[in-house]
Amino acid sequence: MADHTNVALLGTGIMGAAMARNLLRTGHGLRVWNRTRAKAEPLAADGAQVCDTAAEAVRGADIVITMLFDGPATLETMREAAPGLGQGAVWLQSTTVGVDDVPRLAAFGAEHGLVFVDGPVLGTKAPAEAGKLTAIAAGPQAARDALASVHDAIGARTIWAGDDGSTAAATRLKLVCNNWTLALTHGAAESVALAKGLGVDPQAFLDTIKGGLMDCGYLHAKSGMIMNDDFTPSFALDNAAKDARLIVAAADATGVRMDVTEAGVERFRRAAASGHGHEDMAATYFASFDD
């Protein structure tokens, strides 16, 4: 049974819905809200209380989790939730946001008496559904204790990056990890595209590197999606494009050039423009072709 039973989760997309089901499975009482209510409705069958407003969802919650699109969407939602927020509630902010967004969100939390935790998660649909995400977090010790049952429910491990969420320590680490993930995705997509362009069986490419230092499970997963023409989203291309832009902006602010990531932003733009924005980010593959 969970240590904390009053949890509110705002945002029930691919990741949020999976997190919600694992919270319910481990005994957390859960209220959920999503701007498009239809996306939250299926969670009622799992035991969640689906709310019409963000304020209703957070009323009486010990822990509030946000899993939304970006920083502005998160701040807007929390402003809507403000009438229901309780003093001393822990706010686990799990949306991937920009480094500059975090201080603004932390300031909102302080204004409303919340214990703010910068807490993005690393992983896509499958690990989220299995409760095997990696939680990256920064916040005070009291919040760590309060969140123990939540982190146990949604993840395989928790990496504490600092004791002050307002510094964006967790978000900074998450952006570094995401940059590597995006590079692998583009590399897989371009390699499969190149194989097809050169008349090489893409499976021969995978078989050739299998078991060597260049091999990895993620390559097979994304290449397999492309080869099977199955772009059911594990992590949507539009979300990946947003993260790539956040990475470039964070790097620019510190004087770091991100040539590969910037090229990836353009690949995502072209793929989205051709109608693949809501598909898996492996659909960056389509940016390799003119039509």
Mean pLDDT of the 250-271 span: 98
CA dihedral 51, 16, 73, 121 (to 10 degrees): 150
| CA 49 – CA 32 distance, rounded (Å) | 6
pLDDT given at position 4: 55
Q: Are the beta carbons of 61 and 6 closer than 8 angstroms?
A: yes
- Look at residues 55, 185, 63 and name the one whose alpha carbon lies nearest to residue 124: 185
State how far the alpha carbon of 133 is from the alpha carbons of 17, 108, 156, 191, in Å.
13, 27, 6, 27
Identify the burial level of 153 via C-beta atoms within 10 angstroms of its C-beta, where 0-12 means exposed, 13-18 middle and 19 or more buried: buried
One-letter amino acid of 65: I
| CA 29 – CA 8 distance, rounded (Å) | 9
Tell me the pTM: 0.96
| CA 210 – CA 198 distance, rounded (Å) | 20
Report DSSP state, residue 290: -
Residue corresponding to tokens 């499969």: 192
pLDDT given at position 47: 98
Kindly tell me if the per-residue pLDDT of 20 is higher than 70. yes
- Look at residues 102, 114, 134 and name the one whose alpha carbon lies nearest to residue 63: 114
Q: Are the beta carbons of 103 and 166 closer than 8 angstroms?
A: yes
Largest CA distance in the chain: 63
pLDDT given at position 1: 47
Mean pLDDT of the 36-50 span: 98
| CA 265 – CA 284 distance, rounded (Å) | 10
Q: Are the beta carbons of 278 and 179 closer than 8 angstroms?
A: no
Q: Are the beta carbons of 25 and 43 closer than 8 angstroms?
A: no
Q: Are the beta carbons of 226 and 189 closer than 8 angstroms?
A: yes
Residue spans of alpha helices (H) in the chain:
14-25, 37-40, 54-58, 71-81, 101-111, 125-129, 141-154, 169-197, 202-209, 217-227, 237-253, 259-271
Structure tokens at 69: 């699109």
Mean pLDDT of the 161-183 span: 98
Structure tokens at 133: 């995400």
| CA 197 – CA 43 distance, rounded (Å) | 44
| CA 34 – CA 287 distance, rounded (Å) | 31
pLDDT given at position 2: 59
**Is residue 3 very low, low, confident or very high in pLDDT (cuts 50, 70, 90)?**
low
Mean pLDDT of the 174-193 span: 98
For the stretch 84-111, pLDDT in tens is 999 999 999 999 999 999 999 999 999 9
